[in-house]
Structure 1
Amino acid sequence: MRAMRIMTLALAAALAAGGPALTAWAQEFPTKPIELVLPFGPGGSHDLTARALASVAHQYLGQPLLVVLKPGGGGAVGSQYVARAKPDGYTIMLGGSGPNTIFALVQKAPTGPDRFASVARINYSPGVFAVRAEAPWKTLREAVDWMRKNPGKFNFANTGPWGAGDLPMRMLAKAAGVDYNNIPHDGGGPALLAVLGGHADAAFLFTAQLLPQLGAGKMRALAVTDVKRHRDLPQVPTLREEGLDVVFNMWRSVLAPKGTPPPVLEKLETAFRKISEDKSFQALIQQLGDEIQFLGGKEFEATWRQEWDEVARVVAGTQK
């Protein structure tokens, strides 16, 4: 920790002085492989995004991008590892709204925007409010009306407390003024099975999980959490179209330790912008059902802080 702090102060001092050594070092960056830390285990959308980035990164960074898994603590272990790393650009992270907004607020973990330098947002996953095909509700408005008439009786299968499939329902309930029965499940798979089996009435799921069930006629999608309709579900309205001012997408962004020199951040941002425009990378992300929407570091940080404030209000008002 002391050595890292000394290095951080030295870099900051050199930058403030317009140090030629720093300029030369930044121009040469990167001269060795870069670690992309993933704060989750293998197999999920985060992991697949990281490996899609790594598959084409060498062309644009000039060095390999090595995916390093550091799961644990809802993403806190990997996040704190990167926050404490040397701010030299060689240890970065694929962060997300789960570990770096929701978990940070709920658990008061030091993994929020004040701990990182934003490089770029890469992609995001909209959620889909879905019920089984035999459910009596054909639209979200019908489901919300039923909840109003039957407070506390609508059984919602969340994907884990305060996770990607829980927060949107809390936001929906707050916006609609309804109460419901919030049933925790360990991930999207169990939540989906609970709805299919009739043990729950609805869940918020990602399209990659949901599309096969929609195609088989087993589930019905009622609304999406994005500001626009999903390309694979053009007939499904947004929550806003259904009269509820709710937007929440699970983003994935490249983050660096606080204190990383601006010239290094600029190089990383430029490289990841080019990666996001790579056709093979785009094809891999589309297979996940995700949307690619690149934002540079400054623009992303502004949206992150806005999201932080919005989620903080939800957490303060709906924890239960």
Structure 2
Amino acid sequence: MNKFFRRIGILLSLVAIFALAACGGGDKSTDEASATKDNDAASSFPEKDINGVIQWGEGGATDIISRTLASIAEDEIGASLIMQNKTGASGAIGAQYVYDQPADGYTLLFGAENPNLYQLLEISERDYVNDFVPVSIIGQSYAGIVVNKDSEFDTLEDLVDYASENPGKLLMGTSGEGGLPHVASAMLKSELDTAFNLIPYDGDGPLSVALLGDEIDVTVLAVSAAQEYVDSGDFKMLAVLNDSSLDSIPDVPPITDIYPQFEQYLPWGPFQGIFAHKDTPEDVVQKLSDAFKAAQEDEEFIEKLTSLGVDPVNLHGEEAEEFVKANQSTSTWMLYDAGETDISPEELGIPKVGE
């Protein structure tokens, strides 16, 4: 009897072992099936239109550059790019929308630098480094301090003196917390003791309209967005936030010619890029990157960027990732050092550039 039960016990043990092996084999099979599915999806990508989400309003630098590139890239990708603007919350609404979509490469974020500051300013939990993968960094832009053609201010010194002596009286248009004008105003406040009344708008396009209509006294725009208004005489650009002049607007002085103390922050400026959800299959990201890389080599597109005061960079892969991290480091520490936020970038695991 004891021998019988021993045999039964052995048989049961063997059954258990085989069952566990089957389970393990099932997991492996599932993983292989998932990998095969991803590979199949990548090899056939794209099978439908791709949605491009622009996180800023129509007519701004990001909008102009994104739509121009999208029309060229369609032939390289082999699918239509359906572009739409999703504005609000300093671009966070558009970024969150893309993050919430399936990570399959069919929804891309055409964005600027703002998500690099979301966590620091408690605007959103999303950021480029942790939640997205760069498909392409298109270009590095520069910023200019601009006023209406009829403004009483003809030089940056005039503007700074008035803003210092009349704190809060001048209306500065911004694109919200973390936007280019907000960061620039923090630099001015930190170094020149200026105080502006910040009025938010949904990107460079609406800011330009507001300045044209005298709704605001001053703003900071990407040179790419302000260029046509400066050329037409509608805007006066008092200075560029750079340590040297720009070929596209050679008569506008760099801010360091007027206030040398800004050299510590420069070179710095906005950028435009294309991003996918972090979990998008690598092969799909690579396909998209290759297509946008080829599109950005188009001579007419390069001429367009250059005419807008944008340096074409056309970065992909690790180079793009390092570029985004460096921009985040510079911008977050700039705001923190200017006293614009109580949260230290160090708390978010963001090192200073070079550390």
CA positional deviation for 1:311: 2.6
Q: Structure 1 counterpart of 2:66, which letter? A: A
For residues 2-45 of structure 1, the C-alpha deviation after alignment (integer angstroms, 9 at most, x for no partner) is xxxxxxx99x9559x9x566445434433333222223444433
For residues 219-258 of structure 1, the C-alpha deviation after alignment (integer angstroms, 9 at most, x for no partner) is 5433212465323212323334541133442222111111
Which of 79, 82, 86 is equivalent to 2:95? Answer: 79
The whole-number CA distance in structure 1 between the counterparts of 2:149 and 2:208 is: 17
The whole-number CA distance in structure 2 between the counterparts of 1:138 and 1:68 is: 37
Which piece of structure 1 moves more, 246-255 or 307-316? 307-316
Is 1:268 equivalent to 2:288 in the alignment? yes
Q: Which residue of 1 is the match for residue 72 of structure 2?
A: 56
The whole-number CA distance in structure 1 between the counterparts of 2:234 and 2:80 is: 43
Instruction: Compare CA radii of gyration and give the structure with the larger one.
Output: 2
Structure 1 residues 217, 226: closer, same or farther in 2, change over 3 A? same
Structure 1 residues 14, 307: closer, same or farther in 2, change over 3 A? farther
- Residue 130 of structure 1 aligns to a residue whose secondary structure is strand
For residues 184-239 of structure 1, the C-alpha deviation after alignment (integer angstroms, 9 at most, x for no partner) is 25442355347x69x73x43234456445545666543321246532321232333
For structure 2, the residue ranges without an aligned partner over 5 or more in a row are: 1-26, 343-355
Q: Structure 2 counterpart of 1:184, which letter? A: I
Q: Which residue of 1 is the match for residue 347 of structure 2?
A: none
Is 1:297 equivalent to 2:297 in the alignment? no
- Residue 144 of structure 2 aligns to a residue whose secondary structure is strand
CA positional deviation for 1:46: 2.7
Q: Which residue of 2 is the match for residue 70 of structure 1?
A: 86
Residues 38 and 70 in structure 1, CA contact (< 8 A), matched pair in contact too: yes
Matches within 5 A, 1:1-320: 19=35, 22-98=38-114, 100-113=115-128, 114-131=130-147, 140=156, 146=161, 150=165, 152=167, 155=170, 157-162=172-177, 163-174=179-190, 176-184=191-199, 186=201, 187-189=206-208, 192-193=211-212, 200=217, 202-207=218-223, 210-211=226-227, 214-215=230-231, 219-226=235-242, 228-242=244-258, 243=260, 244-245=262-263, 246-247=265-266, 248-285=268-305, 288-316=308-336, 317-318=339-340
CA positional deviation for 1:137: 7.0
Q: Structure 2 counterpart of 1:158, which letter? A: G
Q: Structure 2 counterpart of 1:106, which letter? A: L
In terms of fraction of residues, the more helix-rich structure is 2
The whole-number CA distance in structure 2 between the counterparts of 1:142 and 1:150 is: 11
Residues 111 and 272 in structure 2, CA contact (< 8 A), matched pair in contact too: yes
Residues 132 and 276 in structure 2, CA contact (< 8 A), matched pair in contact too: yes
Q: Structure 2 counterpart of 1:155, which letter? A: L
The whole-number CA distance in structure 2 between the counterparts of 1:185 and 1:259 is: 33
Report the aligned-residue RMSD: 3.7
Residues 89 and 123 in structure 2, CA contact (< 8 A), matched pair in contact too: no
Residues 90 and 176 in structure 2, CA contact (< 8 A), matched pair in contact too: no
Q: Structure 1 counterpart of 2:316, which letter? A: G
The whole-number CA distance in structure 1 between the counterparts of 2:124 and 2:207 is: 24
CA positional deviation for 1:52: 1.4
Structure 1 residues 296, 216: closer, same or farther in 2, change over 3 A? closer
CA positional deviation for 1:59: 2.1
Identity %: 24
Q: Structure 2 counterpart of 1:278, which letter? A: D
The whole-number CA distance in structure 1 between the counterparts of 2:71 and 2:83 is: 10
TM-score, length of structure 1 as denominator length: 0.76
The whole-number CA distance in structure 1 between the counterparts of 2:149 and 2:54 is: 36
Structure 1 residues 32, 214: closer, same or farther in 2, change over 3 A? closer
Structure 1 residues 282, 104: closer, same or farther in 2, change over 3 A? farther
The whole-number CA distance in structure 1 between the counterparts of 2:94 and 2:111 is: 9
